[in-house]
């Protein structure tokens, strides 16, 4: 265990880093989702060390304080069959989340282009300007880009959305994409983090989306899952989008089903491909069936439908299956 700085506890940001094989880090991320007593001031992320080293991964835990013994033990506990080496360092006095996203190149996801103010959009695509911020959802993560691609495919398959909710919206990006595809829809964006309100307000102004409660406008609420009076009052929904984590997706599956109209659509992301079977099983128990899926990096993006009395035509099922095979 390597402590890079033994100075007194500080209000600045600190990071715990663990390097390991992909399966070990993925297992730690899954264990984190199942840890109901996790301190949510500790923000966890994991990814490959480099694109050309897909089996070498790193887990990073960010804290607003110097790690205490309990913090270190919580990270160690994520590794059931090993005692990892913790690399602990104090970070510069900057907004590390924003800094990590500065200078990002524009990304293309289906018919959409997402770019920061430092770059011009890609011609011929629907552009979104999303500045670097503390909120998740700049489009550069495989899950967000995958959702954008899947939304475009849903539109191509004839999906009509009149009432949309983006759960765990972060920057508001996926709600914006839904309004671009279905401009007269009612759109509700929610997040558990109150800091996202200002982020969404800013991004609405930059991208020309009015905020409000009418069709074509974005309503922003702070909510934990679907347990919110505004979310419940504005339902039921034709389309729910949730790009969060596998654990919450599993626990929220019954609430998602209750909040959808019969035949309504559910777009899920934030789950590793290794977690897909669990998420799909939870959705199946709640009365939803898979319409299409794609894999973006190590992440699965799922389009599900709530059961309705009307059957989907066999030709449409075949078309969806063929599209899914491409991914």
Phi, psi angles (nearest 5°) of residue 303: -110, 120
Query: Residue 19, class by beta-carbon neighbours within 10 Å (0-12 exposed, 13-18 middle, 19+ buried)?
Result: middle
* Beta strand 237-243 pairing with 163-167: parallel
Residue set of the binding site for S-adenosyl-L-methionine: 144, 168, 191, 243
Q: For residues 63 and 13, give the distance between their C-alpha atoms in angstroms, rounded to a whole number.
A: 6
Tell me 105's DSSP state.
Answer: P
Task: Find out whether 105 and 119 touch, Cβ atoms under 8 Å.
Answer: yes
> Burial of 70 by CB count in 10 Å (0-12 exposed, 13-18 middle, 19+ buried)?
exposed
Question: Phi/psi zone of residue 270: left (φ > 0), alpha (ψ -120 to 50 degrees), beta?
Answer: left
- The Cα–Cα gap between 40 and 16 comes to 15
**CA–CA dist 257, 280 (Å, integer):** 13
Q: Residue 108 to residues 67, 203, 233: CA-CA distances in angstroms?
A: 38, 18, 35
Radius of gyration (C-alpha) of the chain in whole angstroms:
20
Which residues contribute to the annotated binding site?
144, 168, 191, 243
Integer Cα distance of 247 and 93 in angstroms: 32
Written as one string, the DSSP assignment of 266-308 is: EEEEEEEGGGHHHHHHHHHHTTEEEEEEEEETTEEEEEEEE--
């Amino acid at each position: 265990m390597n402590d890079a700085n033994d100075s007194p506890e500080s209000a600045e940001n600190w990071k715990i880093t663990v390097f390991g094989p992909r399966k070990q880090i993925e297992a730690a991320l899954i264990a984190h989702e199942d840890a109901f007593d996790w301190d949510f001031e500790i923000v966890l992320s994991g990814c490959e060390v480099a694109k050309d080293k897909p089996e070498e991964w790193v887990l990073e835990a960010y804290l607003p304080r110097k790690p205490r013994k309990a913090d270190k033990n919580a990270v160690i506990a994520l590794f059931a069959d090993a005692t990892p080496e913790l690399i602990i360092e104090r970070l510069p006095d900057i907004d590390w989340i924003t800094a990590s996203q500065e200078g990002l190149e524009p990304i293309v996801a289906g018919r959409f282009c997402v770019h920061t103010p430092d770059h011009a959009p890609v011609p011929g695509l629907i552009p979104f300007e999303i500045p670097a911020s503390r909120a998740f959802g700049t489009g550069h993560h495989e899950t967000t880009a995958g959702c954008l691609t899947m939304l475009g495919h849903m539109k191509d398959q004839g999906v009509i959305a009149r009432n949309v909710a983006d759960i765990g919206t972060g920057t508001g990006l996926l709600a914006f994409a839904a309004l671009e595809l279905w401009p007269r829809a009612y759109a509700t964006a929610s997040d558990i983090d109150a800091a996202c309100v200002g982020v969404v307000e800013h991004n609405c102004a930059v991208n020309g989306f009015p905020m409000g409660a009418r069709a074509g406008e974005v309503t922003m609420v702070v909510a934990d899952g679907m347990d919110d009076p505004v979310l419940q009052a504005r339902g039921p929904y034709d389309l729910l989008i949730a790009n969060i984590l596998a654990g919450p997706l599993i626990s929220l599956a019954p609430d998602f089903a209750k909040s959808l109209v019969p035949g309504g659509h559910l777009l899920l992301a934030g789950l590793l491909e290794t977690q897909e079977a669990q998420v799909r099983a939870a959705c199946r128990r709640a009365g939803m069936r898979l319409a299409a899926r794609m894999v973006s990096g190590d992440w699965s993006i799922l389009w599900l439908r709530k059961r309705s009395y009307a059957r989907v035509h066999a030709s449409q099922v075949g078309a969806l299956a063929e599209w899914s095979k491409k991914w």
